[in-house]
């Protein structure tokens, strides 16, 4: 397995370009299954989860071409299989997003129960209950979800109330409802910017979706959807990660190609702790650390538009370098403090009490050998390594490759001393058709 070797203690300075949002690109790729016409997606990040989603689409019969590295042309005119196999779904829970489009367009779908990061249970019960409200028959069979539309092959519009906020559940049912007969209303829907981005694509394809980005989404079903061209929004979590990278190293970064309005709660909290963030324009922020240092502040993770759980680990790394005590409360996932024990190996003073992490700062961090447990945990360990004195080795960085595009290269461009140590048996990524000469760049 690949590792990162980091020599810390150097401020980051320069300019960083933010990639497209993985969590928007994945459902938009799945949405291409709703039509036999070609869907063109721009600003796709080249990360492992995208590669997995592409392979899933190709396995069931879609054609995915890449005329450019970050552009996907997806044509699902000859779907041969209505099934997402375990071998792919086990590595990425977003694979379950194939269920709604396949069920809506073809009246049947079979998808293995999803996997992904080990950050706690993320059941898809809300997805399945929603499909049943739309008239589908749903059953579990040998670890797979098997769903069929009602007689006649078309789902029926319904009013669906989510008992708990679910991003992928909102996306799955929104896609399914676009081809249902009648009107569907989703209440208690997730409000993330990625939901609104998916709705924008769906409406470009001919869907009638209103209210995406609010708790109530109304979808008026149509007979068929067509092709479209769409540009994926910037990744707000990558944006936040680089803001913290500038602050924790006492650096000075210009972060370009972002949408600051998508990170309002995060930016407000980071300003509160002493990070200087200036919005240069609608797509650029300038970040520097307050000369008086960082101040500890408590935070609670909550659904959007509040502080995101996907930034909790990075914030914890930052709080190790802040004066005083902070309490970080995790309300979304029950097992998302696994990075704390690895930070402790580097000298961090962190105590876990149930859903709370108590961080005592300022902790002088020193390099150590640590292990990543999930996507955002690996990002937090990179941040800790950048701030630490000495050398840090991070094992299992395949986690960070799932969601950050060539993060080590971006960091090196702004002064970080970070290298990827490749295992001799690490297989090279399979390159998509239509791209030539890219293997060396991606490797």
Which residues are part of the catalytic machinery? 117
Tell me the residue ranges of DSSP E strands in 197-281: 208-210, 216-220, 228-231, 252-256, 275-281
Contact 239/405 with Cβ under 8 angstroms? no
Q: Which of 426, 318, 327 is nearest to 379 (CA)?
A: 318
* Helix axes 99-106 and 125-133, enclosed angle (nearest 10): 20
**Residues sharing a CB contact under 8 Å with residue 344, sequence separation 6 or more, in sequence order:** 350
C-alpha gyration radius of the chain: 22
Q: Please list, in sequence order, all residues whose beta carbon lies within 8 angstroms of the beta carbon of residue 346, skipping any fewer than 6 positions away.
A: 365, 366, 367, 368, 370, 384, 385, 388, 392
∠ at Cα 317 (409, 52), nearest 5°?
Answer: 50
Cα separation, 171 vs 93, in Å, equals 13
Helices H, strands E: what count in the chain? 15, 24
- How far is the CA of 178 from the CAs of 105, 228, 374, 382, in angstroms? 10, 15, 33, 41
- Which residues does residue 326 pair with via DSSP β-bridges, in sequence order? 359
Q: What letter does residue 311 receive in the DSSP assignment? A: G
What pairing do the DSSP bridges indicate for beta strands 324-329 and 349-353? unpaired
Angle at 40 between CA 35 and CA 43, to 5 degrees: 135
Q: What is the dihedral of CA 309, 310, 311, 317, to 10 degrees?
A: 100
- Roughly how many angstroms between the first and final C-alpha of the chain, as a whole number? 14
Cα–Cα distances in angstroms (integers) from residue 78 to residues 36, 102, 109, 218, 372, in the given order: 7, 12, 15, 30, 40
- In sequence order, the 6+-apart residues with CB closer than 8 A to the CB of 381 are 317, 339, 342, 343, 370, 372, 392, 394
How buried is residue 331: exposed, middle or buried, by Cβ count under 10 Å (0-12/13-18/19+)?
middle
Which three-class secondary structure state does DSSP give residue 286? Answer: strand
């Amino acid at each position: 397995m690949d590792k990162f070797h980091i020599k810390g203690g150097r401020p980051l300075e320069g300019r960083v370009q933010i990639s497209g949002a993985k969590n928007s690109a994945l459902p938009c790729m799945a949405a291409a299954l709703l039509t036999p016409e070609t869907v063109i997606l721009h600003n796709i990040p080249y990360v492992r989860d995208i590669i997995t989603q592409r392979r899933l689409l190709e396995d069931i019969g879609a054609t995915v071409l890449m005329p450019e590295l970050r552009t996907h042309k997806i044509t699902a005119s000859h779907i041969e299989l209505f099934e997402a196999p375990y071998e792919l779904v086990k590595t990425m829970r977003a694979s379950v997003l194939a269920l709604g489009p396949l069920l809506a367009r073809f009246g049947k779908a079979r998808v293995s129960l999803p996997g992904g990061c080990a950050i706690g249970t993320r059941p898809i019960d809300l997805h399945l209950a929603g499909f049943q409200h739309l008239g589908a028959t749903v059953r579990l069979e040998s670890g797979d979800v098997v769903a069929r539309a009602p007689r006649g092959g078309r789902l029926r519009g319904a009013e669906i109330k989510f008992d708990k906020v679910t991003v992928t559940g909102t996306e799955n049912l929104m896609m399914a409802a676009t081809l249902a007969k009648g009107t569907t209303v989703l209440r208690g829907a997730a409000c993330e910017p990625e939901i609104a981005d998916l709705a924008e694509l769906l409406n470009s394809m001919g869907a009638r979706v209103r209210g995406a980005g609010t708790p109530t989404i109304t979808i008026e079903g149509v007979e068929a959807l067509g092709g479209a061209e769409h540009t994926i929004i910037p990744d707000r979590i990558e944006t936040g990660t680089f803001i913290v990278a500038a602050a924790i190293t006492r650096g000075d970064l210009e972060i370009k190609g972002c949408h600051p309005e998508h990170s309002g709660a995060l930016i407000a909290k980071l300003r509160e702790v002493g990070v200087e963030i200036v919005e240069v324009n609608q797509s650029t922020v300038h970040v520097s650390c307050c000369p008086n240092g960082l101040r500890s502040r408590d935070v609670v993770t909550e659904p959007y538009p509040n502080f995101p759980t996907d930034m909790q680990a990075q914030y914890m790394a930052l709080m190790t370098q802040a004066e005083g005590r902070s309490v970080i409360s995790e309300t979304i996932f029950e097992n998302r403090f696994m990075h704390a024990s690895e930070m402790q190996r580097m000298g961090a003073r962190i105590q876990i009490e149930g859903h709370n992490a108590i961080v005592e700062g300022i902790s002088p961090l020193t390099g150590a050998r640590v292990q990543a447990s999930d996507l955002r945990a690996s990002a937090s360990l990179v941040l800790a390594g950048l701030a630490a004195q000495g050398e840090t080795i991070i094992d299992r960085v395949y986690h960070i490759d799932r969601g950050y595009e060539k993060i080590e290269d971006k960091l090196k461009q702004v002064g970080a001393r970070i290298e990827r140590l490749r295992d001799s048996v690490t297989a090279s990524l399979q390159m998509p058709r239509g791209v030539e000469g890219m293997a060396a760049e991606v490797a």
